[in-house]
Structure 1
Amino acid sequence: MKIFLAGTGTMGSGIAQVFAQFGNEVCMYDRELALVDRAYARIEKQLTRQLDKGRMTEEEVAATLSLLSKTESLEDAEDCDLVIEAIFEDMDAKHDLFRKLDVICRPDCLFCSNTSSLSITEMAHGLGHESKFLGFHFFNPAPVMKLVEIVKGANTAPETIAQAKEIALAIEKEAVEVKESPGFIVNRILVPMINEACDLYYQGVASAEDIDTAMRFGANHPMGPLALGDLIGLDVVLDIMNILYEETGDPKYRASLQLKSMVRAGDLGRKSGKGFYDYKK
């Protein structure tokens, strides 16, 4: 299978790595080739770590990298079987990207968005590929996390869902089918928990370390909610909370003032070097 991967940030590069490791050609696209080069370097670094740990051979690393190609032209999607979009969470930007791809790609090409919370129906509206459009939501880091949420839009064909499940199985992911709803399953439950932890910190109930320790040892979570927020990116957490609140109008989804202030200050977590914890040390 040949995949066109649009958006080469952390999630995009992880998704590209997953498909390439399972023998698929992946054409990595971004608006600037420098961004694609950076993503390729991230993948190469991750594969080298697997080699050093004895989890991959030199031949497997070389074979995986050989399946990755780079482009800054959407025209290279014309012969792909599958498009996966992994750009930033903005409906207008995503719809505009798919609108352009709609006239380039083959009619039988599957269109997938990695959106974590936006409406698949709205994103696919008016496209020729509307029946071939669905959500295919990976979790970070994509090469490690085993779950994919398969999200059906109002006009997604049943055979499209079946095809997506087969693809998930082929890359050894556990797939869950989700009715379109703000945040789907995982983020609808997880992100408000992170937001509540932010509120506890804001109110001075406990330190970040103690909040995370409590959830690790009291709820058997592998990572505390504030450390997890730092890993996801606090800006992403805030975006999802805002979408949940806008879509439902439910005050329980109102973003924490602590979360808002940290994002305004540029303290986004691991990717900025500082969040609830300092990663510059």
Structure 2
Amino acid sequence: MRAFFVYGTLSEGITLRDEERGKFMKEPIISIRHVYFRYPEQQSDALHDISLDVAQGEWLAIVGHNGSGKSTLAKMLNGLHYPREGEVMISGFPLKEEYVWEIRRRLGMVFQNPDNQFVGTTVQDDVAFGLENNGVPHDIMVRRVEESLQRVGMLDFLNQEPHHLSGGQKQRVAIAGVIALQPDIILLDEATSMLDPLGREEVLSTVRELKEEQKLTVISITHDLEEAARADRIIVLNQGSVYHEGTPDDIFQMNKELIQLGLDVPFPIKLGEALRRQGFDIQGGHLTEEELVRELWTSNFKK
């Protein structure tokens, strides 16, 4: 079952405890203050004095090597972990047991392996499952299923069995299941790591379009800096703490530091630097292959 499902009955446009939400609601949409977390079997903190904000409508990438704390932070944002110390506010609610289902209704999570997310025998059944779980009326549910599949370009696969889809198509169906629930935030937890380059491009382009159309907030938890280059802002985690944050341009200027942290800079940046060392007259800061090709074309490949 997807972790963002909520048990209970909701009618269209009605939310639980909206009067209580008003007591807590304040910008930014996510606020984390001095958070510590430690697994019972470990001697050191998995998260150590983490403080960060996520603005409504931004795309934030959280990157780090294995063991940096990014997966622990993703689980905390979905209410699977609670801080040992500190405070987490998500979409107007404090991360506490009594509000965890409200948080999960407002924060939709797309996981690494799409096959682990499917529960329906057809694409439409799978997208409808979360809506049924929320008690959404049938006519509204049908409309939302079709609208969400249309938005991710999968409406033609309505009656297809999920296991017949490609990896990128499966992940787009998983995203449709999230957006059908109309969350405030989409959390991608290594959601493209098992996809080939084409599938990765399909998913990231879909997320970007949805973000712009619906003013969604997107959080991408990843070790892939080419994916992180799509974000508005990047936070680098190291040993459970915030190591650095800034725009993609800012972060990728830390070339050697990123490599020392166990991360790899995007291929277009490495290629651009190699070409400059060979004397080609091109500017730096190209985060995508398209940007680098455009620069090479306009510079006429001059040395």
Work out whether the TM-score is over 0.5: no
Q: Which has the larger radius of gyration?
A: 2
Between Structure 1 and Structure 2, the one with more strand by share is 2
Between Structure 1 and Structure 2, the one with more helix by share is 1
Give the structure-2-normalised TM-score. 0.28
